[in-house]
Amino acid sequence: MKPLLLVALLGCLASVVVAQAGKLKWCVKSDDELRKCRDLMAKAPIFSCVSKPNTLDCIIAIKAGEADAITLDGGDIYTAGLKNYDLQPIIAEDYGPTSDTCYYAVAVVKKGGTFGIRDLQGKKSCHTGLKKSAGWNIPIGTLLSMGLIQWEGIDDKSLEEAVGSFFHSSCAPGATVGSKLCQLCKKDCSRSHNEPYYDYGGAFQCLADGAGEVAFVKHLTVPDSEKSKYELLCKDNTRAPIDSYKTCHLARVVAHAVVSRKDPQLAEYIWTNLTSVQDFDLFSSDAYAPSKNLMFKDSTVKLVRVPPHTDSFLYLGAEYMSIVSSLKKEQTTGTSSALKWCAVGHAETQKCDEWTTSSVSGGTASVECLSGSTVEECLKKIMRSDADAMAVDGGQVYTAGKCGLVPVMVEQYDAVVCSTASSYYAVAVVKKDSGVTWDSLKGKKSCHTGIGRTAGWNIPMGQIHKITGDCDFTKFFSSGCAPGADPSSPFCSQCGGSEEKTVGDQAKCKASAEEKYYGYAGAFRCLVDGSGDVAFVKHTTVPENSDGVGTTWASSLKSADYELICPGRPTPVPISDYASCHLALVPAHAVITRPDSRQDVITVLKDQQAKFGSTGSDPTFRMFQSSSGKNLLFKDSTKCLQEIPAETSYEQFLGTDYMTAMTSLRQCSDTTPDLEKSCTFHACQQKT
């Protein structure tokens, strides 16, 4: 433990050391990179150069604080993000209008041949490097998915052995020296510029020299003067001209990125100094020919800041991560097949643990529980396969969809129509005779279910944005409670925190059941307590918390003491008139998961619903009832879960009107969750 602790302490102190010394330590992997780095130092003395023999040693050096930054490709960004190193991408390369912060992974061959991608077995191959994106992860993942390379997993043999058996011979720098994967290499087969066939230019040179018959590179690798001599291999087994990469490629991949330790000050320091460089071309290696792509890719046009809190997984995207997972195939015999449900906060976790206990059959639980402090944290766990599913509101379905997750089951609130599509009305509730109308809302105090939630935020704020055109909603409402908002925001000032109201209450304005004004019942309670003048909730919220229904705080409330307000109505109307006075008809909450887990999640939930649903056979637990709070795991008004047709996208599930409202609201960047910003940073992060 002591050496690990020392490394951790070095990492934590690294930014302080950088600030004191004034040096930004760049890690380089070859003599030519070191030459370029030293030339950069001459123009910008703030930089210093740390030389290491390979990428992994650079990653370790950055973790330990011996170096500060390096530019890596997707495969290495994945490695750098592992728990051992815990680095993150902070700046992306941008390759201009043809590909922005993405590039195309392609298979290049000499013109005139007749073989296609399905005929590669027994051919000689050139790779940029072992575990690199365009040169290894994408092509090998593609050949595996097409069933061309036969591999049962690491318990069968190593992936290197499987690839070595497929190709006649190869140069894959970084592979085991002496193996077939190093047979075509010119020097030491190292994953550095010391090997002439390393990287994009090297893999192409391997093909040009006739050492290999196919080179796996990126779409901009072949020089303009050479394009007429080469072709691309397409996945449909045809060939195409080099410039047809948009329709003939293996995958679209995220750009190379500068990685560093997780330290906002250090990230700012690196960005400031890189963008301040003058009289030196960071993106050219011409002076160091024949070497290419030194420090940065030569095709880079500019650098772009990566959204804060973006880790390696979010940067690479779900599709790329699934490819990496397929290349790490392991036997799953004996692993748990339980549905891993993600709960937010203590109260939900408590209910989820009860569900786990009740789900045990034959000594095995059908449901396991994981917890996250926020919905966003749970979505990240699902994306990483640490968890499988959770039920979320429409606004969170939108964010989940942007991150590659899919809705698979939807809550239905009317038992009679459990076989039809489910939805509810988003409404604005005020106290009777308060004098508050839709037209007089400005300057009032507001109660919201939570930031990014459908009825509580997206719909009402979307309506208000249409009216004002102003993204600063603090100019419209004087204050309020919108759990999940910045703690210093006026939208946190009216929040109630935990029931105990302790000093320095950590639960205040938290987007979980620990904040008593969170969710539908919480937003209504905010109005009841006088902390707000209007509550944005769903049409059943007041009936579910009044007239003898609901928990202790609602026991004496009368539904007749509350009214609805809406655009186009000069005066309030009774709570029961929601069909004619509402803000929108919106989709119900839905269970979301990864596309590959869809059927497993549905199977388990149908079985659990049969046992523990509203009319379930086992009364020891009820999925749709909450004894220590409201709407825990599922909304308490849920009567059943319905399967969403497999072909339904998240856009189709949410509907045109809702998508239009979200598109409008997303003009206000402050309303976009950090997770969503990370998931949509690249155009190539999502499946198209």
**DSSP per-residue string spanning 453-506:** -IIIIIHHHHHHHHHH--S-GGGTSSEEE-TTS-TTSTTTTT----TT--TT-T
Q: Which amino acid is at 598?
A: R
Distances (CA, A) of 385 to 122, 280, 348, 500, 597: 36, 44, 20, 35, 9
Residue 513: which pLDDT band, with cuts at 50, 70 and 90? confident
Cβ 456 vs Cβ 523: under 8 Å? yes
pTM of the model: 0.77
Listed in sequence order, the DSSP H helices in 394-536 are: 394-402, 459-468, 519-528
Residue 65's DSSP bridge partners are: none
Residue 422: which pLDDT band, with cuts at 50, 70 and 90? confident
Q: Is the pLDDT of residue 15 over 70?
A: no
Listed in sequence order, the DSSP H helices in 578-649 are: 598-612
Residue 343's DSSP bridge partners are: 371
Q: Is the pLDDT of residue 157 over 60?
A: yes
The residue with tokens 């390379």 is 149
Taken as a whole, the chain contains a residue count of 688
Q: Is the pLDDT of residue 417 over 80?
A: no
What is residue 288's predicted lDDT score, i.e. its pLDDT? Answer: 94
State what percent of residues in the chain have pLDDT above 70. Answer: 94
What is residue 684's predicted lDDT score, i.e. its pLDDT? Answer: 74
- Average pLDDT, integer, range 496-509: 80
- Average pLDDT, integer, range 576-591: 92
Q: What is the DSSP string of 426-458?
A: EEEEEETTS---GGG-TT-EEEES-TT-IIIII
β-strand pairing of 339-344 with 367-372:
parallel
Cβ 450 vs Cβ 519: under 8 Å? yes
Q: Is the pLDDT of residue 274 over 90?
A: yes
Q: Give per-residue pLDDT as tens, 69-108.
A: 999 999 999 999 998 999 999 999 998 876 678 889 999 9
What is residue 10's predicted lDDT score, i.e. its pLDDT? Answer: 42
Q: Among the listed ranges 285-289, 321-325, 579-583, which one has the minimum average pLDDT value?
A: 321-325
Residue 212: which pLDDT band, with cuts at 50, 70 and 90? very high
- The mean pLDDT value of the chain amounts to 90
Cβ 673 vs Cβ 378: under 8 Å? no
State what percent of residues in the chain have pLDDT above 90. Answer: 71
Q: Is the pLDDT of residue 355 over 80?
A: yes
- Average pLDDT, integer, range 597-608: 94
Residue 17: which pLDDT band, with cuts at 50, 70 and 90? very low
